[in-house]
Amino acid sequence: MKLLKVLAFVPLWFVLVAESPSPSPPASPTPCNPPAGAPTISLSPAAGRATTKITASGSNFTCNTTITLYWDQAGHVAGSVKSNGAGGFSKSGLVPFPGDKPGTHRLCAVAQSNPCANFQLMGPPSPSPKASPVRTPSPSPSPSPSPSPIVLPTNDQTPTALDILTRPPFVFFPIIAVLGILGAIAYWALSKVQRAPANLPTASVVHRSARPDMGPLTPMPPPSSPPPPQEPPEPDPGPPEQEGC
């Protein structure tokens, strides 16, 4: 029984061995050409803020070599990248080293001659001023239409006092003034004229009593006129003076 099992297993083993592929020999590495010049690094973009994503590209490095990148000093490692067969590399997603101040910084590679590339780090954006709320003007009552003033036509020449006095109703004032002046002159002239005294007749007044028991009253004689003034007598000249012999 055991012999039969072994004989049945031998053909199956030959089938499995025939179907499995034979292992291929390992591929030999492609030989590297020496760099054509000094290694260089370029950054894209070359300026930005602390959150800017940077792509570093290099050339003329040793092929198939892991290259370490750092900012400004070896302790500020930015990342690592492996060069290709031509000695070039491209590393994306790099950011400035945390805590760096705004200014010029250098991304360098650990390689022969330590090639570097400059990056201009900008400060954070200034906060934009807040928009002030727009005040909606309250509806004001519409003003009622006011009557427009009547503009009287005016002459270019200013009226004088003589023009005003010669127009009604002021035209009567000069006439009244002239008549008043004439009346005052006439009154003054009449008051200066000497009037002759009038010769009035002498009248006697008789008083009669209304009582019959007293009888008639004796009339009073008219008043006598005062005597004319007497001239003083002339002085006596005395005896004539005798002339001397």
**Burial level of 42, CB count in 10 A (0-12/13-18/19+)?**
middle
Residue 23 has pLDDT above 60, yes or no: no
Residue 10 has pLDDT above 70, yes or no: no
Instruction: Give the Å distances, CA to CA, from 89 to 54, 109, 233, 237.
Output: 14, 11, 179, 183
Compute the distance between CA of residue 207 and CA of residue 205 in angstroms, rounded to an integer: 6
User: In this predicted model, what pLDDT tens digit does every residue of 157-216 receive, in sequence order?
Assistant: 677 777 777 777 777 788 888 899 999 999 888 887 755 555 656 666 665 655 555 555
User: In this predicted model, what pLDDT tens digit does every residue of 135-165 receive, in sequence order?
Assistant: 776 666 666 666 666 655 555 567 777 777 7
Q: Which of 38, 37, 42, 39 is closest to 117 using CA atoms?
A: 42
β partners of residue 56: 43, 91
Compute the distance between CA of residue 104 and CA of residue 206 in angstroms, rounded to an integer: 155
Contact 118, 104 (CB under 8 A): yes
